[in-house]
Chain A
Amino acid sequence: MRLNWREVAAALVPGAVLALWTLAAGAILVATLDAPERGTLYALLEPRFALLVLAWLLLSAALGVALRAAWLHWVVAPARLVEQAQIVLGTDVQREIAPEGSAENRALTQSINALVRERAGLRADIGRKVQEASREIEQERSRLAALMSELTQSVVVCNLDGRILLYNSRARLQFRALSQSPALADGAELIGLGRSIYAVLDRKLVAHALESVQQRLLRGVANPSAQFVTSTHGGQLLRAQMAPVRAIAAAPGEVAAGDAPPAALSGFVLMLDNITRDFADESLRDQLLHGLTEGSRASLGNLQAAVEMLDFDDVDAETRERFHAVIRDEVRAMSQRIQSLASHTVQTQKTRWPLEDMLGADLISAALRRIETLYGCSVSAGDVDASLWLRVDSYSLLQALSGLAGRLVEEYEVRRISLRLANAGNERAHLDLVWAGQAMSTETVMSWEADPIKVGADSSALTVRDVVERHGGAFWFERERVRHEAFFRFLLPLASGQEQLAASLVVHSESRPEYYDFDLFTTSAQAEELADRRLADLSYTVFDTETTGLEPSAGDEIIQIGATRIVGGKLRRQESFEQLVDPRRSIPAAGIPIHGIQPEMVAGQPTIDVVLPAFHAFAQDTVLVAHNAAFDMRFLQLKEAATGVVFDQPVLDTLLLSAVVHPNQQSHRLEEIAARFDVAVLGRHTALGDAMVTAEVFLKMVPLLAEKGIHTLGQAREQAQKTYFARVRY
């Protein structure tokens, strides 16, 4: 047992104090006596000195024992209680502290015990409630999942950064059809939890739709949705309907009413339709109709005029013959036209674009804002009829307005631009882009109609004429000489009166939309540097390659790539990538028993210059993870020049991380690590099988790394570099 110095001191103090006191008292006594008296005193005390010492010893021992007992009773017992209480406080251990020491100390211990019991009760209670709540959430989730899978429409839910939080199988199918390399990544490089929707949809279109949804929300429209149409890389036409996901309002009482804007968004739901086929059909119908009506008008006009001339009695024979020739000619022309229409061969593209209803004033203010930001000129709204609802493709119209304004500013130094909107009657509106300044020729400005629209640095294939055609509208240029102004006028269709109704009938219900209990929107991407992100929060692509041999620089090639994803701390087995690659060389027989890939299996498979871009797309925006990553990365890097794809994302190596986690283990082979973590190894030495094992192993390592104080990507990479294995270079 350790000697407690304070306890010993407590026992010795009385004796020491007594001795000092006696000596001091004796010294003072002696000082008051004269020499003969001192002699007498010495003579008196000297023979009895032993008795005095004995008395001192006895008294000291008695006092010492008493003081030690008191010290244990009043000082040590409370100190022990403090320690015990701290242990109970700092851990979840549920135990009673044995009472000891003074009555007060015992009472205090009882109270602490009572508090501990109460705390345990509360914890159990909270646990039960959490469990209940998560059961409910689970139930709602499965209801939603059932609903989503039954939907015949594709649904994708995104947060405000455009990251996919939820999608249904229909969406997966649709994205597969959009994928550039459907056979390779199966659409998984486009759709997947945590992936960006902007890989498929134009970011600006989505932003524009979000903005109009937000405006509608602020105005209190009952169903604040927006729709837009976009064409994808493959020329497919997608119609997207966007509905907002509202931010969860703060609990009542937490925030005073009116503090938080009711229109706050936390994400959006996209419902996607592939309308390529519909659209093609419709435009074909349009063309036929157009050919039959407008195309025939001129001929009919010529015919009618000629026939009516023949009605005159005084037509001479020669003129009569000329009119007959006209009639024969036109009849032949019309027959021909109908013939060719019937065989679907007349094709001048006329497009009909799906349009949406929009409050004219919203469009004007959006356009003014854009023009001002883009070109820094002074903008103003002229006379705007605030009651007008337009039926427009607002995105392309805004492009057209900005493009025209841009040319005025940049080519003619126009400083002030205003927009006005008026009812033109006949279900149409005039939208005017008005400016004052330098005279310019009508021909010049009207030639802009047919030029591709350029907005800032972006240019599109679209012309102002295309935009006007989409609306079935008209576009021209006019001057107002008196006011020294000129303007471009768009004649645009008005909306039929539906949305006005929706806006006026709005009921401000703050009730939560269904399926609102999902925690999906908390993952909004942080703007932090990747290196500072926590390992548990990142998305990973875990991959493995099979190769013809071990020396890429000596001509060895990749013959298989397999990869899977980790998003939100979970392995997403269904979002995986597996592809054989034609190495364009022989596969050495020595390796075949290991990877099991026979030469005939890779024959006819895509080559690396096709596979690598697909894999690159699959791995975008994630951290790469591989076992012995240096080896695989070396193969990828050697292909950079040939394929043009660069894998520049951060890389983690489970081999190095294993050495960080278990520095004393002999082997860091994947099988050994898997056995250590009790991960079942299936399909070892197929690329995807190994990637799956690596992913599971990696997931088990993350908490162990955290125990070692390694929480972020930056820390993990730094530690991995420090291990012995980091010095091995391929």
Chain B
Amino acid sequence: MTYKILIADDEPNILISLEYLMKREGYQVLLARDGNEALAVMTRERPDLVLLDVMMPGKTGFDVCQAARSDDALSGVKIVLLTAKGRDTDIAKGMALGATDYMTKPFSTKELAARVRSLLEPVA
């Protein structure tokens, strides 16, 4: 089956690359440019995984994460936080609020692809 992936980031420069990468990996890709849009798409489309930027206008990645985790319907969605904030306190906060994984910018696209794959298709 084809997995649905939502990429939420307010920077078009990263969206271009991530969209290309994920499509190339064979996933169906959805895009969102801020937190509120991301949450709306999540509710409507039920993606399997969300690549969520932390620093977004409106709702931040933390807010989206927390909102998604308080909605039972979205409890199965895997969330990977992407952030330019490299502090361990931010990582701790993201994980506490229900993120499945966390990547700090800049990151290797290969590693990101590998993480996404392992989250979606855990080795049996």
Contact = CB atoms under 8 A, between A and B. Distances in A.
Contacts of B55: 298
Contacts of A306: 13, 16-17
| Chain A contact residues, majority secondary structure | helix
A684 to B, nearest CB: 69
Interface in A264-320: 293-295, 297-298, 300-306, 308-309, 312, 315, 319
B117 interface: no
Given A309-B20, A478-B96, A479-B70, A304 B108 contact: yes
B104 A308 contact: no
Interface of B: 11, 13-14, 16-18, 20-21, 24, 55, 62-63, 66-67, 70, 82, 84-90, 92-93, 96-97, 104-110
A442 B88 CA distance: 23
A330 B62 CA distance: 26
A326 interface: yes
Contacts of B86: 293-294, 297
Interface stretch (A66-74, A469-477, A594-602): A469-477
7 contacts: A297-B86, A304-B108, A442-B66, A472-B87, A476-B93, A479-B70, A491-B89
Given A297-B104, A303-B106, A305-B17, A476 B84 contact: no
A472 B90 CA distance: 10
A297 B62 contact: no
Contacts of A308: 17, 21, 108-110
Contacts of A9: none
Given A301-B107, A304-B109, A323 B16 contact: yes
B93 to A, nearest CB: 4
Contact of A304 (B16, B66, B88, B106): B106
B93 A491 contact: yes
Q: Which of A298, A329, A424 has the most CB of B within 10 A?
A: A298
Given A306-B13, A309-B20, A309-B21, A474 B107 contact: no
Interface residues of A, number: 38
B85 A294 contact: yes
A326 B16 contact: yes
B105 A428 contact: no
A322 B16 contact: yes
A303 B105 CA distance: 10
Contacts of B108: 304, 308
Contacts of A343: none
Given A305-B18, A322-B16, A479-B70, A424 B107 contact: no
Given A297-B106, A323-B16, A424-B92, A305 B21 contact: yes
B70 A298 contact: no
A489 interface: yes
Contacts of B18: 305
Contacts of A248: none
Contacts of B90: 474
Contacts of A472: 87, 89
A306 B107 CA distance: 11
Given A297-B104, A323-B20, A472-B89, 20 more contacts: A293-B86, A294-B84, A297-B84, A297-B105, A302-B14, A304-B106, A304-B107, A305-B17, A309-B109, A322-B16, A326-B16, A424-B92, A426-B88, A442-B63, A443-B63, A446-B63, A474-B92, A476-B93, A476-B97, A491-B92
Contacts of A300: 105-106
Contacts of B16: 306, 322-323, 326
Contact of A305 (B63, B85, B89, B109): B109
Q: Which of B18, B20, B89 has the most CB of A within 10 A?
A: B89
A298 B84 contact: yes
B8 to A, nearest CB: 14
Interface of A: 293-295, 297-298, 300-306, 308-309, 312, 315, 319, 322-323, 326, 329-330, 424, 426, 428, 442-443, 446, 472-479, 489, 491
A123 B88 CA distance: 75
Shortest beta-carbon contacts, A-B, top 3: A301-B105, A305-B17, A297-B84
A200 to B, nearest CB: 35
B109 to A, nearest CB: 4
B80 to A, nearest CB: 13
Given A293-B86, A298-B84, A319-B20, A329 B13 contact: yes
A324 to B, nearest CB: 11
A231 B55 CA distance: 32
A304 B84 CA distance: 13
A477 B92 CA distance: 13
A442 B92 contact: no
Contacts of A301: 14, 82, 84, 105-107
A491 B97 CA distance: 13
Contacts of B24: 312
A577 to B, nearest CB: 51
A225 B61 CA distance: 42
B62 A476 contact: yes
Contacts of A475: 93
A534 B14 CA distance: 79
A479 B96 CA distance: 11
Contacts of B11: 298, 302
Contacts of B17: 302, 305-306, 308-309, 323, 326
A302 B96 contact: no
B89 A428 contact: yes
B14 A305 contact: yes
A304 B108 CA distance: 7
B63 A298 contact: no
Given A298-B84, A329-B13, A473 B89 contact: yes
A446 B66 CA distance: 11
A489 B93 CA distance: 9
A306 B15 CA distance: 10
Contacts of B84: 294-295, 297-298, 301
